[in-house]
Amino acid sequence: MNQPEWWLLFFVAIVIGYIMGRRDGRRRRVRREENLSRDYIRGLNYFLNEQPDKAIEIFVKSLAVSEHTLETHLALARVFRRRGELDRATLIHSNLLEHPQLPVAARDDVQLELAQDFLAAGMLDRAEEILHKLLDRGSRHDLAVMRLLLSVFEQERDWHSAISVAEKLMQKDKSVAPVLAQYHCELAERLLAQEEANAGRRALRRALQLDSTCVRASLLQGKLEMAEEQWEGAVRALRRIRRQDPVFFDEVLDDLERCYQELGRVEQFTQYLGRLCVEAPSTAIVIKLAERLRAQFGDQAAALFISDHVKAHPTVRGLKQIIDMQARAAHSGTDDPPSVLKQLADQLLQQKTSYQCRDCGFEALRRHWQCPSCKHWGTLKPHPHREI
C-alpha cells in the first residue's frame, strides 16, 4: 500500500478508537488510551519496519468492532481489494463476521463485501453462494446483490441464469434492458451454433423488444436468415442496422450485396447505395458504390465518381481506391508511379485500430460485444477514424 493511504487509515482508525474510548468510564478510558497508544506504537513500528501484515493484525485487533468503527474496517478492506491484495481483504471481512460484537444490521454489509472479494479473486462459486443467500433473505442491498450475481453469471457464461436475474432486476431498474438484450443475443448465438434456429429466432426477437437499437440482434438475425436463404428477411435485418447505429453499417455491406444478388435485384442495391452516399456517406459505402458502378458502367465511371467524392471528403481509404483504379487504368503503360502512394495508403490502413470502447478507451482489432477491460456491454465501436 502506498504511504498516504496507510497513514490516513491508520490515523482514522486510532482517532475513532480514541473517541470510542472516551465514551467509556474514566477508568476504562485511561486503560483504553494506554492500550491504544501501546498498539499504536507497535503498529507504527511494524509499519516502519515494512511489515504491513503485522501492522494490519495490530490494527484489526486494536480497533473495536462496533457500528461506529465498522466503516473504517470496511474502508481498509476496500483499499486492499482495489490493490488486488484479496487475502487481506477477505481476512478482515471474515474476522468481522466472526466477531461477537458485530451489529446484526451490519452483517449483510460485510457479507456483500466478502462476496466482492471472492468475485475479484475469481472464486465464483463462493461469491455466488453468499449472494444467493443474501437475495433469498432479502435486504436493502437487493439491487447491488443482483448486479453482482450478473457479473458472476457473465464470467460463468451461464446465460439462462443471467437472464433470469436480469429480468427480476429490470422490475426495479429499467436501465438493465440493453444488457439483458445482450444476454439474449449470447443465448441466441449458442442456439444457432446448435442449429436450433427457431429458439434462436425467439431469443433475437426478445433482444430487439428489450432494446430496439441492439445492432448485435440485427446482425445475428441477418446471418440466420441468410443461412436459411430467407433473403428478404436478411435484407430487412441488415438494413435496420443503419438506423440502429450507422457506425456498424459498413460491416454488413458485403452481406447485403450478396442478399440483393440472390434476389436478382442488384440494381436496387446500387440505387440504395447512391441514396446513402447523399444522405450519410461513409468510406465503405462510397467504395462499395464505386465497385457497383465499375461492374455496371466500367472503370472510368467509377474513377470519376470516386475522385469527385474524395475531393469533397479526403480519406485514406478513398485515396487507396483512386490509386488502385489509376493503377488499373495505367496497366497498359508503366505500372511504377502509383506504387509508392499505394504502399503509403496500405500502411496507413494497416495502422488503424478497428474498435475502441467509448467508455474506457480500450482498443481491439476484433469486435467484442462486452468490453474486455471495463466489462460494459455494447460500448466497443468501430474506430471513428474509419468514418468519413
CB of 367 to Zn ion, least distance (A): 13
Q: Which of 110, 86, 109 is nearest to 97 (CA)?
A: 110
Q: How far is the CB of 257 from Zn ion (least distance, A)?
A: 32
Which x/- pattern, by CB under 5 A, does the window 307-346 give for Zn ion? ----------------------------------------
Positive or negative, the Cα torsion across 69, 75, 80, 84?
A: positive
CB of 358 to Zn ion, least distance (A): 8
Among 304, 359, 364, 368, binds Zn ion (CB under 5 A): 359
Q: Which is nearer to Zn ion, 283 or 379 (CB)?
A: 379
Within residues 368-387, the interface with Zn ion by CB under 5 A covers: 371, 373-374
- What would the grid cell of residue 380 be? 466497443
Q: Is the distance from CB of 207 to CB of 184 less than 8 angstroms?
A: yes
Residue 357 CA to residue 381 CA, distance in Å, equals: 6
Beta bridge partners of 81: none
Q: How far is CA 288 from the centre of its chain?
A: 31
User: CB of 338: closest distance to Zn ion in angstroms?
Assistant: 40
Q: Which is nearer to Zn ion, 26 or 366 (CB)?
A: 366
> Is 360 one of the binding residues for Zn ion (CB under 5 A)?
yes
- How many residues can be counted in the chain? 388
Looking at beta carbons only, is 107 or 376 nearer to Zn ion? Answer: 376
- Is 309 within 8 Å of 281 (Cβ atoms)? yes
Residue 368: CB minimum distance to Zn ion, A:
9
* CA pair distance 209, 225, nearest whole angstrom: 18
Alpha-carbon distance 240 to 220, whole Å?
Answer: 12
Q: Which of 6, 18, 248, 362 binds Zn ion (CB under 5 A)?
A: 362
Toward Zn ion, which CB reaches closer, 131 or 371?
371
DSSP per residue over 173-223, as a string? Answer: -GGGHHHHHHHHHHHHHHHHHTT-HHHHHHHHHHHHHH-TT-HHHHHHHHH
Query: Applying CB under 5 A, which part among 77-85, 200-208, 304-312, 359-367 lies near Zn ion?
Result: 359-367
Radius of gyration of the chain (CA): 31
d(CA 267, CA 33) in angstroms, rounded, equals: 89
Closest to Zn ion by CB, 248 or 362: 362
Give the interface segment with Zn ion, choosing from 138-146, 246-254, 266-274, 366-374 (CB under 5 A). 366-374
- The three-class DSSP label of residue 262 is helix
Closer to Zn ion by Cβ: residue 107 or 381: 381
How far is the C-alpha of 47 from the C-alpha of 50, rounded, in Å?
5
Candidate ranges 143-151, 171-179, 204-212, 367-375; the one touching Zn ion (CB under 5 A): 367-375
User: At closest approach, how far in Å is the CB of 374 from Zn ion?
Assistant: 3
The footprint of Zn ion (CB under 5 A) covers 357, 359-360, 362, 371, 373-374
